Amino acid sequence: MDIRRKIFYFLSPDLRYLVRRIYYWPSDLLSSLKPKKNRIQPPKGMIYTGSGDFEKTGQQFKEIFITHCGLLPDHHVLDVGSGIGRIAIPLTEYFTKEGRYEGFDIVKTGVDWCKKNITSSYPNFRFTHIDLKNDLYNLTTDQKAQDFIFPYADHSFDLVILTSVFTHMMPEDMENYLAQVSRVLKPGGRCIMTLFILNEINTAKMKTNGGLIFNFDFGHYSQLDKDVKEANIAFEEEYIFHLLEKNKLRMKHIEYGYWSGREKQSCIDFQDIVIVIKD
């Protein structure tokens, strides 16, 4: 694992956030002095959810939701692990007032920013903070994701979104979340999730590509870092398929990403994308 990543994982979530704020402070200050463009975007120093082009990636996912998940402007959507609005912001341009967006996350600063900057203009976009423990993101509680019941009615969503969330959750937590996803989806509703999937091809490529290598093998899942277990997690494909079937989530589409060393040009995203339908 590269040394910068190792140092990053070594820092506490609060310290990591502070370093980021300081690092981007000059460029965020400059941006705040420029005339405001008419768009919602968090300062770079607050984007704790990973690297990459925040705006472009959000737009790309919006297109995938429309083309691959049949998302319509009046649909009801649940964004699990809503972060700092990367998925919500582009949906504000697409949804009508009849559309409903619910997002929840375990990091309060992200949820607070979204409430202040998104819900204030789009009241049909709601964000909820849920205090759950995660080695990478939240050490302030011992509440476990494996026990958490999503605070939404059965069969209430057309689409559930989990972008880069199961990449940071332990198997027992993901098992509960998939059962919850199945419960809150309408029959015929869809779920899109991105993950790191270990199958024969990905595993073989991963070992030689010099990128992410999930070296700590626990059978049905592997960790990138030995100590910070939720830093990044990859799951065996058979295990994922078994959980989907168990929760009546039928596979519609699988699109492997380039994280493992597949050719970037032929992939849609860095992570593997799975789209399922609730039977």
Ligand X SMILES: C[S@@+](CC[C@H](N)C(=O)[O-])C[C@H]1O[C@@H](n2cnc3c(N)ncnc32)[C@H](O)[C@@H]1O
What is the binding site for ligand X (CB under 6 A)? 49-50, 80-81, 83, 86-87, 105-107, 110, 132, 134, 137, 145, 163-165, 168-169, 173
Q: Which is nearer to ligand X, 163 or 223 (CB)?
A: 163
Give the residue among 4, 34, 36, 35 at the shortest CA–CA distance from 20: 4
CB 275 within 8 A of CB 253: yes
**For residue 164, how many C-alpha atoms fall within 13 Å in the half-sphere facing its CB?**
19
Centre a 10 Å sphere on the Cβ of residue 134 and count the other Cβ atoms it contains: 22
Q: Which residues contact 1 (CB under 8 A, 6 or more apart)?
A: 213, 224, 225
CB 23 → ligand X: shortest distance, Å? 18
CB 220 → ligand X: shortest distance, Å? 19
CB 90 within 8 A of CB 56: no
Q: Which is nearer to ligand X, 114 or 249 (CB)?
A: 114
CB 200 → ligand X: shortest distance, Å? 27
Give the residue among 222, 218, 167, 182 at the shortest CA–CA distance from 198: 222
Question: Residue 274 has what DSSP assignment?
Answer: E
Residue 132's region, left for phi above 0, alpha for psi from -120 to 50, else beta, is beta
Q: Which is nearer to ligand X, 108 or 207 (CB)?
A: 108
CB 227 → ligand X: shortest distance, Å? 17
Centre a 10 Å sphere on the Cβ of residue 12 and count the other Cβ atoms it contains: 9
CB 134 → ligand X: shortest distance, Å? 4
CB 129 → ligand X: shortest distance, Å? 10
Quote the CA–CA distance of 202 and 259 in Å, as a whole number: 9
Written as one string, the DSSP assignment of 136-182 is TTB-S----GGGPPPSS-TT-EEEEEESSSGGGS-HHHHHHHHHHHH
CB 204 → ligand X: shortest distance, Å? 26
Q: Which is nearer to ligand X, 156 or 201 (CB)?
A: 156
Q: Which is nearer to ligand X, 95 or 113 (CB)?
A: 113
Q: Which is nearer to ligand X, 13 or 201 (CB)?
A: 13
The dihedral formed by the CA atoms of 24, 30, 34 and 37, expressed in degrees to the nearest 10? -10
Q: Which is nearer to ligand X, 105 or 225 (CB)?
A: 105
CB 159 → ligand X: shortest distance, Å? 14
> What number of H helices and E strands is found in the chain?
8, 11
Q: Which is nearer to ligand X, 83 or 189 (CB)?
A: 83
